[in-house]
């Protein structure tokens, strides 16, 4: 017996020592490539981009909050509201076309004190929205609420959301609850057994990436579902068209915030567990999934409080939880800003709030408060509401589902949002080529600069350079090397690019700039050795957010599908920037650095791969110099992302609206064929 335990103990010790040995080797290998380790300028390299982008966003927000018109006056309110709504629609991608709803009621049922209808309608052609309409047992017509769902896999079947609908029906108010895309019966990515591969926030962000490329925001599809849900209610004779409201929790709170801001037919609203402020969101949990981030909205001064203010003068109750991950301080900040406007308009009582000492969720107290506010708005009476719902009144799966298999894919003519985006891409494709061909070369460059929201090479400042003291030759087993230098290139305040220069003993006027997507520590040493043997100086650099400064990221389904760093991507997206654009600016700065270091006549071979091949191509196109040659590996085109909805790890490559104007092959075709060598590859998929 003792011998047995001794052998097990010995085995564990051996495995432990082997593991420590491997870890030690990996740690040593990483250390020799490290440049930023221990630098006081960058105490946490993996948070560099978060801090940099947050500082940009917070400064913009501060500038807006200091303006005299931050809260419009009563006299300027109507013009302010009209202009802000137009601007918000523009940022979302524009108002879609209203097409026939083609509603179908699948079945009807009745419970103790309410009736219900299970139905679907088309918010866009082929985009089926599965829903349940809860009706009071009293005679019609009824006021009605739409209930967009939060991030629950069950969608409209989630018990807490059903209870909101039942409570409203018990109090004489109809409600239409519907599945958002990616939830309930509208999950796109399902396996052969009918189980979701991804759903909810992950699906929203995967599809949202494709939306970005064609100049749309994923929220547009959710908002349009809600607006068409209102259209459906108003098409019914048993609904009072003058008394419509909206309430939702979490992701449904997000949708409610958008809908109460954009649809004037919504006369009362109850956004729950979403509204905070951008300042608090960015500095706490950070940006969330795709529909919660609208392109350049911070750049244009849109904070969460704007959604509340755009609803004025109509009433709302803002529901919040003390211990929500959506920060409560931000909630009160937004509420106070809205309160100032409502007070100025003389409708102070229409702006209300309820805070419960709980965590995130649509609790009973919130549902009661929303019902009270709706009754006050619709019936002109403020009554006490107590939620008392029997378990048997909650609809079961087979009662609330529209389809037998639980997916609207069963319905003839179904189109998923990825398929809708492919159709839009094909339509753009017909127009894009002629649009691009009409532009001169200079006009094309101007368009690229505008889309990437970057400075030109001429406008780019000379970067600063911090050289590390010490001898580093012994760290690398290389022949024919004169010196290894470690340094930091600083293109702008808050951004630090770690670099290592390998100087050959006999150097020609030729530099190889290597910028791997996986970071410089992944460079094959034999490649460096071969370049040194040719007398070429090798400069290995991590661009921002790459290698040493790569964001660690959350280990969730969003990261597993669209890639690490998606939070920082959306930080940039919110202020009108992209990583592709910022990487092009890094290349501009590195060129200025190399010119200063080796002379402006020095020939440069730029090596990049995968996601960094896209900014490398843009850099070469914009610089348009015969001394720059590209060597690219695993080049992906934006068209590939549209056509392959399961493409994995590509969010950093997205540029808002770029496919309206051009794709990567356009740029490649205009580069000197002798100055670019590249290989393509199939996109990785989830």
Q: Which residues contact 437 (CB under 8 A, 6 or more apart)?
A: none
* pLDDT: which is higher, 9 or 356: 356
Q: Two tokens at 484?
A: 């290894």
Residue 202 pLDDT > 70:
yes
pLDDT reported for residue 1: 52
Q: Which residues contact 207 (CB under 8 A, 6 or more apart)?
A: 181, 182, 188, 218, 290, 417, 418, 421, 645
| CB-based contact 220:254 (threshold 8 Å) | no
Assign 11 a pLDDT band (cuts: 50, 70, 90).
Answer: low
pLDDT tens digits, one per residue of 624-663: 999 999 999 999 999 999 999 999 999 999 999 999 999 9
Residue 106 pLDDT > 50:
yes
pLDDT reported for residue 13: 58
685/644 Cα distance (integer angstroms):
8
Q: Give how far Cα 280 sits from Cα of 57, 249, 302, 437, 472, Å.
A: 11, 19, 14, 45, 43
662/443 Cα distance (integer angstroms):
13
Assign 4 a pLDDT band (cuts: 50, 70, 90).
Answer: low
Q: Which of 94, 147, 90, 150 is nearest to 288 (CA)?
A: 150
392/370 Cα distance (integer angstroms):
23
Q: Which of 175, 181, 233 is nearest to 203 (CA)?
A: 181
| CB-based contact 146:229 (threshold 8 Å) | yes
| Highest mean pLDDT: which range of 27-41, 551-565, 593-607 | 593-607
How does DSSP classify residue 450? H
Helix ranges (H only) for 235-363 are: 251-262, 278-283, 304-310, 328-344
Count Cα neighbours of 629 within 13 Å in the Cβ-side half-sphere.
12
Q: Give how far Cα 347 sits from Cα of 313, 314, 343, 512, Å.
A: 7, 8, 6, 66
65/278 Cα distance (integer angstroms):
12
Residue 12 pLDDT > 60:
no
SS3 per-residue string spanning 360-397 = CCCCHHHHHHHHHHHHHHHHCCCCCCCCCCCHHHCCCH
Determine the 3-state secondary structure of 241 from DSSP: strand
219/215 Cα distance (integer angstroms):
12
How large a percentage of the chain has pLDDT more than 70?
96
Q: Which of 636, 626, 633, 635 is nearest to 674 (CA)?
A: 626
pLDDT tens digits, one per residue of 256-309: 999 999 999 999 999 999 999 999 999 999 999 999 999 999 999 999 999 999
What's the CA dihedral at 478, 481, 484, 489 to 10 degrees?
Answer: -110
Assign 508 a pLDDT band (cuts: 50, 70, 90).
Answer: confident
Assign 3 a pLDDT band (cuts: 50, 70, 90).
Answer: low
162/657 Cα distance (integer angstroms):
38
For the chain, what is the mean pLDDT? Answer: 95
Q: Which neighbouring-strand residues pair with 481?
A: 504
Q: In degrees rounded to 5, what are phi and psi of residue 23? A: -60, -40
Which residue in the block uniquely carries the two structure tokens 């505008």?
A: 450
Q: In degrees rounded to 5, what are phi and psi of residue 178? A: -140, 155
522/465 Cα distance (integer angstroms):
23
Q: Two tokens at 592?
A: 């200025």
pTM for the model: 0.94
Residue 21 pLDDT > 50:
no
Q: Which residues contact 630 (CB under 8 A, 6 or more apart)?
A: 605, 606, 608, 616, 617, 620, 671, 675, 676, 677, 678
Determine the 3-state secondary structure of 533 from DSSP: helix
N-to-C CA span, the chain:
48
Q: In degrees rounded to 5, what are phi and psi of residue 99? A: -120, 170
| CB-based contact 134:147 (threshold 8 Å) | no
588/592 Cα distance (integer angstroms):
6
Q: Which of 530, 541, 552 is nearest to 583 (CA)?
A: 541
Residue count of the chain: 686
Q: Which of 158, 200, 405 is nearest to 288 (CA)?
A: 200
Residue 30 pLDDT > 90:
no
Residue 25 pLDDT > 50:
no
Assign 16 a pLDDT band (cuts: 50, 70, 90).
Answer: very low
Q: What is the mean pLDDT of residues 54-63?
A: 98
pLDDT reported for residue 625: 97
Among 27-41, 142-156, 573-587, the range scoring the smallest mean pLDDT is 27-41
| CB-based contact 160:143 (threshold 8 Å) | no
**Beta strand 115-124 pairing with 127-135:** antiparallel
Helix ranges (H only) for 644-680 are: 664-670
pLDDT tens digits, one per residue of 351-398: 999 999 999 999 999 999 999 999 999 999 889 999 999 999 999 999
Q: What is the mean pLDDT of residues 66-72?
A: 94
pLDDT reported for residue 554: 83
Q: How much of the chain is in helix, strand and coil states, percent to nearest 5?
A: 45, 20, 35
Q: Give how far Cα 543 sits from Cα of 370, 488, 495, 540, Å.
A: 49, 11, 9, 10
How does DSSP classify residue 517? T
Q: Which residues contact 364 (CB under 8 A, 6 or more apart)?
A: 163, 387
| CB-based contact 197:191 (threshold 8 Å) | yes
Q: What is the mean pLDDT of residues 425-446?
A: 96
pLDDT reported for residue 9: 57
SS3 per-residue string spanning 148-178 = ECCCCCCHHHCHHHHHHHHHHHHCCCEEEEE
Assign 27 a pLDDT band (cuts: 50, 70, 90).
Answer: low
87/184 Cα distance (integer angstroms):
32
Q: What is the DSSP string of 176-234?
A: EEEPPTTSGGG-S-B-TTS-BSS-HHHHHHHHHHHHHHTT--HHHHHHHHHHHHHHHHH
Q: Two tokens at 678?
A: 């590249």
93/660 Cα distance (integer angstroms):
12
Q: Two tokens at 246?
A: 């909206």
Q: Which of 655, 669, 642, 504 is nearest to 207 (CA)?
A: 642
Q: Which neighbouring-strand residues pair with 630?
A: 606, 676
Q: Two tokens at 289?
A: 């999934």
| CB-based contact 652:613 (threshold 8 Å) | no
Q: What is the mean pLDDT of residues 98-114?
A: 97
pLDDT reported for residue 22: 42
Q: Which of 169, 167, 114 is nearest to 386 (CA)?
A: 167
Q: Two tokens at 167?
A: 């409570």
CA-CA-CA-CA torsion sign (668, 671, 674, 675): negative
């Amino acid at each position: 017996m003792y011998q047995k335990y001794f052998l097990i103990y010995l085995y564990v010790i051996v495995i432990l020592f082997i593991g420590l040995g491997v870890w030690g080797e990996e740690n040593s290998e990483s250390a020799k490539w490290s440049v930023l380790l221990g630098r006081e300028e960058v105490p946490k390299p993996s948070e560099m981009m978060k801090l940099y982008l947050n500082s940009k966003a917070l400064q913009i927000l501060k500038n807006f909050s200091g303006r005299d018109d931050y809260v419009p006056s009563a006299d300027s309110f109507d013009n302010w509201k009209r202009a802000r709504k137009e601007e918000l629609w523009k940022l979302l991608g524009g108002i879609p076309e209203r097409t026939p709803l083609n509603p179908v009621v699948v079945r009807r049922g009745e419970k103790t004190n309410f009736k219900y209808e299970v139905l679907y309608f088309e918010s866009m052609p082929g985009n089926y929205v599965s829903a349940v309409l809860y009706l009071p047992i009293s005679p019609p017509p009824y006021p009605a609420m739409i209930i967009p769902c939060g991030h629950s896999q069950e969608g409209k079947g989630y018990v807490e959301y059903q209870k909101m609908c039942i409570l409203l029906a018990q109090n004489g108010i109809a409600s239409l609850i519907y599945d958002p895309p990616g939830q309930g019966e509208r999950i796109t990515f399902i396996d052969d057994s009918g189980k979701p591969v991804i759903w909810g926030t992950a699906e929203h962000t995967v599809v949202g990436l494709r939306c970005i490329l064609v100049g749309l925001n994923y929220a547009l599809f959710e908002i349009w579902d809600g607006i068409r849900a209102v259209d459906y209610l108003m098409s019914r004779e048993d609904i009072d068209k003058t008394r419509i409201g909206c309430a939702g929790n979490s992701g449904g709170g997000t949708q409610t915030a958008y809908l109460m801001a954009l649809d004037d037919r919504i006369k009362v609203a109850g956004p729950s567990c979403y509204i905070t402020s951008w300042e608090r969101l960015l500095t706490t949990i950070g940006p969330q999934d795709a529909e919660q981030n609208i392109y350049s909205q911070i750049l244009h001064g849109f904070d969460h409080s704007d959604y509340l203010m755009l609803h004025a003068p109509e009433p709302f109750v803002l529901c919040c939880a003390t211990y929500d991950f959506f920060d409560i301080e931000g909630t009160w900040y937004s509420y106070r800003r809205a309160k100032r406007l409502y007070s100025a308009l003389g409708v102070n009582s229409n702006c209300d709030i309820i805070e419960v000492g709980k965590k995130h969720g649509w609790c009973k107290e919130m549902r009661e408060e929303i019902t009270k506010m709706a009754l006050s708005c619709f019936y002109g009476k403020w009554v006490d509401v107590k939620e008392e719902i029997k378990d048997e009144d909650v609809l079961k799966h087979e009662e609330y589902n529209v389809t037998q298999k639980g997916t609207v894919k069963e319905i003839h003519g179904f189109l998923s949002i990825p398929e809708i985006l492919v159709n839009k891409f094909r339509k753009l494709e017909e127009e894009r080529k002629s649009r691009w061909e009409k532009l001169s070369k200079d006009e094309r460059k101007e368009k690229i600069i505008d889309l990437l929201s970057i400075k030109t090479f001429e406008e780019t400042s000379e970067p600063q350079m911090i050289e590390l003291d010490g001898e580093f030759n012994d760290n690398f087993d290389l022949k024919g090397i004169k010196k290894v230098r470690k340094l930091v290139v600083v293109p702008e305040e808050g951004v630090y690019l770690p670099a290592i220069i390998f100087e050959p003993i006999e150097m020609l006027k030729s530099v190889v700039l290597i910028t791997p997507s996986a970071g410089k520590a992944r460079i094959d040493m034999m490649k460096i050795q071969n370049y040194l043997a040719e007398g070429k100086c090798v400069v290995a650099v991590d661009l921002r957010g790459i290698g040493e400064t790569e964001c660690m990221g959350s280990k969730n389904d969003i990261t597993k599908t669209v890639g690490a760093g998606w939070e920082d991507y959306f930080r940039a997206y919110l202020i009108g920037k992209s990583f592709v654009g910022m990487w092009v600016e890094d290349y501009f700065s590195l060129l200025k650095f190399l010119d200063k270091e080796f002379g402006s006549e020095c020939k440069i071979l730029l090596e990049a791969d995968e996601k960094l091949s896209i900014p490398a191509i843009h850099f070469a196109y914009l610089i348009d110099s015969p001394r720059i040659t590209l060597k690219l590996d695993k080049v992906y085109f934006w068209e590939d992302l549209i056509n392959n909805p399961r493409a994995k790890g590509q969010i950093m490559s997205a540029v808002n609206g770029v496919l309206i104007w051009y794709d990567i092959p356009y740029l490649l075709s205009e580069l000197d064929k002798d100055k670019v060598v590249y290989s393509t590859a199939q996109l990785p998929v989830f």
